[in-house]
């Protein structure tokens, strides 16, 4: 029991807060730490275990905080260190763990380290970033492409060299091959641990190390005909990224991170993995005493039918059994689940039932769960006019890709207040009318709302201790229904999730204790299980 308490993250529910968009306490149109602190009782009421804060560090905000200019300070936009300390204290008083982002792949180009590094080739931090000479013809050393489009290399006139940036040009890549850089990052990790932080979400962690040979990335196809009618919008998608990220040196760095975390009992780290071979990478990163758990972009895609989910879970079997998965289906980088995983013309009632079904799926798979703010309200993806766009990713690739602003709009709290109670000033992104109609106060007043159903499901999950460690075995009774058996000691639990939009049947002669949460329909008669659209069943088998 003591081990399970210290490993709270194994079956925990993590609630992601995007600070800019949660609540504005000083009415400047931007959310802040004090706004988050004031809403900790609400977060606690959801039945979650931890709150993950997206970046609030000092930053010029070229990429909204993922371009850090000081790892040890709060950006004045969000408050100050006293505000953060108060947030930690009150979160702990509410029984909530606090997880914060750490960005080790890159910094801001305004970080003091980079400003020193770019001054010369022989200063103390000259090798803290990835610098390379030009080719004789003045071109970059290879064909590597930035995630945000264009070359990954930026020419610097002071050093007369290129620096690597896997993201924006304002986000130069740290040279994590350098032991001094690792030592500094680990020191910064301790800084936050000493302030009471319980865990870290490591952003784009597999981007930390590049192949020092600087070999080209291979093309996915020899000719454009290989793409058929699905020619990518982003240059990044034309390559297999085997040399610009996911190198063995990253795994050794993760072991060093784990050594520090092990000095602080009860702390954890979850890694964000974006890779061409995500599941094997996640498995390596969560074994051999590295990360505690990891999530990938597999379930952040547009696919959500049973065959796709079954394949992802099947591919992740080694991860599930030897490492640990964090099941994330929505966050600040992808369109909202309500829009992405529902048919546009589906009735609202069915859409809401499917959202609850996705939660049940996350809760009953082996691993922990990450929920993005507003998912408990069923917020849809916001349509943002081009003139209101803030995300450079979307601005660069408009109109085929509209960026990430549609999932980052302010949290709606009170329908009758300006900007749904987020702020009395004009918010940094507009609040859609469809979100105002689903404000927290509206959902609180409706006992049948999705918000109350989320609370019921988290309460149900807490009453099922077997979910933490039970092994998982996939079955395939109907291709449109995700089915699996969880086994713990001598107990067996059968789970069926109808991910289709139509009624489905299973041939199952089941006897046992019905553990299905309230609100999920099924019938069992003469060896046949009938599941309506968004239906589910959970049974402890005799």
Residue 46: name the closest of 449, 495, 338 by CA.
Answer: 449
Report, in angstroms and rounded to the nearest whole number, the Rg of the chain calculated over CA atoms.
24
Give 216's DSSP letter.
P
Residue 300: name the closest of 264, 263, 268, 326 by CA.
Answer: 326
- How many Å apart are CA 335 and CA 380, to the nearest integer? 8
Given 83, 203, 298, 375, which residue is catalytic?
203
Contact indicator for 50, 266 with CB cutoff of 8 Å: no
* Tally of CA atoms within 13 A in the half-sphere of 230 that contains its CB: 6
Residue appearing with tokens 């000691």:
489
Q: Using DSSP, state whether 41 is helix, strand or coil.
A: helix
Encode 373-402: b = buried (16+ Cβ within 10 Å), e = exposed: bbbbbbbbbbebeeeebbbbbbeebeeeeb
Q: Are strands 50-53 and 13-17 parallel, antiparallel or unpaired?
A: parallel
- How many Å apart are CA 497 and CA 505, to the nearest integer? 11
Helix 248-261 with 179-194: angle, nearest 10 deg: 30
Q: Which positions ≥6 away from 56 have C-beta within 8 Å?
A: 19, 33, 65, 74, 75, 78, 79, 84, 100
Calculate ∠ Cα 413-416-420, nearest 5°. 35
Q: Is the dihedral of CA 294, 174, 55, 304 positive or negative?
A: negative
Given 122, 263, 400, 490, which residue is catalytic?
263
Q: Is the dihedral of CA 462, 292, 188, 110 positive or negative?
A: negative
- How many Å apart are CA 518 and CA 513, to the nearest integer? 14
Q: Reduce the secondary structure of 174-214 to three states and give it as a string.
A: ECCCCHHHHHHHHHHHHHHHHCCCCEEEEECHHHCCCCCCC
Contact indicator for 208, 104 with CB cutoff of 8 Å: yes
Distances (CA, A) of 453 to 220, 274, 315, 360: 44, 32, 31, 11
Q: What is the phi/psi pair of residue 287, to 5°?
A: -125, 180
- How many Å apart are CA 266 and CA 123, to the nearest integer? 40
Per-residue tokens: 110: 């305004």
Per-residue tokens: 127: 């090798």
- How many Å apart are CA 429 and CA 20, to the nearest integer? 10
- Catalytic, 203? Answer yes
Contact indicator for 306, 483 with CB cutoff of 8 Å: no
- Catalytic, 333? Answer no
Catalytic residues: 203, 263
């Amino acid at each position: 029991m003591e081990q399970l308490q210290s490993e709270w993250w194994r079956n925990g529910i993590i609630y992601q807060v995007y600070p800019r968009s949660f609540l504005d306490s000083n009415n400047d149109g931007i959310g802040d730490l004090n706004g988050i602190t004031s809403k900790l009782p609400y977060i606690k009421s959801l039945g979650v275990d931890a709150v993950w804060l997206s970046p609030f560090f000092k930053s010029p905000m070229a990429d909204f905080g993922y371009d850090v200019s000081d790892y040890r300070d709060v950006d004045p936009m969000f408050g100050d260190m006293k505000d953060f300390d108060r947030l930690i204290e009150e979160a702990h008083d509410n029984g909530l763990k606090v997880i914060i982002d750490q960005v080790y792949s890159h910094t801001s180009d305004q970080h003091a380290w980079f400003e020193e590094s770019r001054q010369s080739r022989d200063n103390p931090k000259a090798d803290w970033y990835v610098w390379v000479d030009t080719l004789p013809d003045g071109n970059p050393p290879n064909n590597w492409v930035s995630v945000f489009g264009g070359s990954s290399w930026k020419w610097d006139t002071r050093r007369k060299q290129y620096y690597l940036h896997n993201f924006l040009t304002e986000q130069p890549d740290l040279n994590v091959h350098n032991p001094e850089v690792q030592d500094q990052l680990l020191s910064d990790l301790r800084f936050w641990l000493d302030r009471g932080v319980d865990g870290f979400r490591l952003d784009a962690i597999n981007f930390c190390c590049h192949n020092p040979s600087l070999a080209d990335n291979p093309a996915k196809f020899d000719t454009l005909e290989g793409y058929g009618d699905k020619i990518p919008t982003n240059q990044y998608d034309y390559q297999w990224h085997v040399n610009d990220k996911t190198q063995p040196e990253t795994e050794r760095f993760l072991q060093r991170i784990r050594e520090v975390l092990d000095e602080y009992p009860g702390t954890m780290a979850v890694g964000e993995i974006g890779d061409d071979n995500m599941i094997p990478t996640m498995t390596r990163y969560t074994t051999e005493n590295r990360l505690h758990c990891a999530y990938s972009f597999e379930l952040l895609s547009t696919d959500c039918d049973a065959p796709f989910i079954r394949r992802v879970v099947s591919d992740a079997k080694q991860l599930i059994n030897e490492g640990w998965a964090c099941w994330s289906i929505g966050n600040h980088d992808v369109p909202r689940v309500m829009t992405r995983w529902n048919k546009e013309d589906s009735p609202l009632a069915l859409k809401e039932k499917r959202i609850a079904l996705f939660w049940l799926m996350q809760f009953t798979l082996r691993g922990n769960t990450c929920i993005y703010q507003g998912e408990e309200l069923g917020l849809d993806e916001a349509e943002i006019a081009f003139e209101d766009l803030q995300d450079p990713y979307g601005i660069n690739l408009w109109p085929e890709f509209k960026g990430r602003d549609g999932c980052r709009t302010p949290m709606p709290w009170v329908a009758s207040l300006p900007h749904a109670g987020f702020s009395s000033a004009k918010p940094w992104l507009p609040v859609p009318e469809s979100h105002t109609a689903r404000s927290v106060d509206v959902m609180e007043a409706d006992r049948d709302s999705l918000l109350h159903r989320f609370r019921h499901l988290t309460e149900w999950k807490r009453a099922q201790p077997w979910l933490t460690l039970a092994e998982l075995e996939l079955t395939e009774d109907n291709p449109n229904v995700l089915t699996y058996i969880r086994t713990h000691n001598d107990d067996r639990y059968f789970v069926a999730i109808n991910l289709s939009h139509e009624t489905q049947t299973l041939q199952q002669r089941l006897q046992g204790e019905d553990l299905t949460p309230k609100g999920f329909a099924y019938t069992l008669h003469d060896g046949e299980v009938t599941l309506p659209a968004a239906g589910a069943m959970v049974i402890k088998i005799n």
